[in-house]
Amino acid sequence: MKINACWLTTTLLLSSTTFAAPHWGYAGAEGPEHWASLTPEFAACSGHNQSPVDIKGTIKSALAPLTLHYQTGAAALVNNGHTIQVDYAPGSTLTLDGQAFTLKQFHFHAPSENLIQGRHYPLEAHLVHASEQGALLVLAVMFEVGAGNPLLTTAWRQIPTQSGTTATLTRPLDVRALLPRNLDYYRFNGSLTTPPCSEGVRWLVLKHPVTASQAQIDAFKAVMHHPNNRPAQPLGARTILE
C-alpha cells in the first residue's frame, strides 16, 4: 500500500486509532474530487478549511519573525508513491505562538499546491512540523527555475525511483539549504493537502521563492510519473495574514 507522508505523520502523531487507508491518487476515480467519498476517515477532505489555497486578498498584520533552530538532520529519502519524503532526525525546531514545533520531514509537490496571486510555481516543498501535543505546522517554500539547489543536487543522486523504496543518504543534509534568506511569510489556517485532509494545521508560506534547475525539477517529475498537487481549495471565511 502506498502511504502518503502527511497522512503517515498525522496517523502517528494525532490518531488514537489506525485504519487501512484505501488507495488514493491525483486523477480519475481516486483523484482529489473523490477523496472525501473513498472512506469515512477521509470525510474532512470536503471540509471548509482545506489546503492548499490561492494566496490573495491578504491582510496586513504584524506577524512575528520566524524563529528557526534547524540543524543538519536529513538522513533518508522515501518514495511513497505520492511524493519524495526526506525524513529528518529529531532536534530541529520552529517556534511559533510561543510553542516549539519539531521538524519531522519535508517533501515536494510539482507543480506547487499553493498559489500566490493566482500563480503556480513549478515545485513546492512542505516542511512538516509537530508539537509535543501533536499539533501540526507546515512551512512551505516555492521554487522558481534557475540555479540548481545544492540540497537537491546531493539528494537527487540517491533519489529512489521505485514506489515503496527508501535510500539512506551517504551524508546527512541541512534543510536550511532549501530556504531563502528573507523569511517573510503568509499565514493561514488549513489542512493536510492529502488524505485524510485533517484540519487545524498552521500554514506558513514563504513569500520569497528559491531556485532549482529545470533538470532537478524534471528529475522529480520523472520519478512521480504524474503531477502530485491537489487543486486550490475555497478560502471561505478564512483570512490570510502577511
**Which residues are catalytic, by number?**
82
Q: Within a 10 A sphere around the Cβ of 234, how many other Cβ atoms?
A: 11
Residue (of 126, 129, 106, 103) closest to 114 by Cα position: 126
Output the CA torsion 179→13→163→141 (10° steps).
-20
Residue (of 13, 51, 32) closest to 191 by Cα position: 51
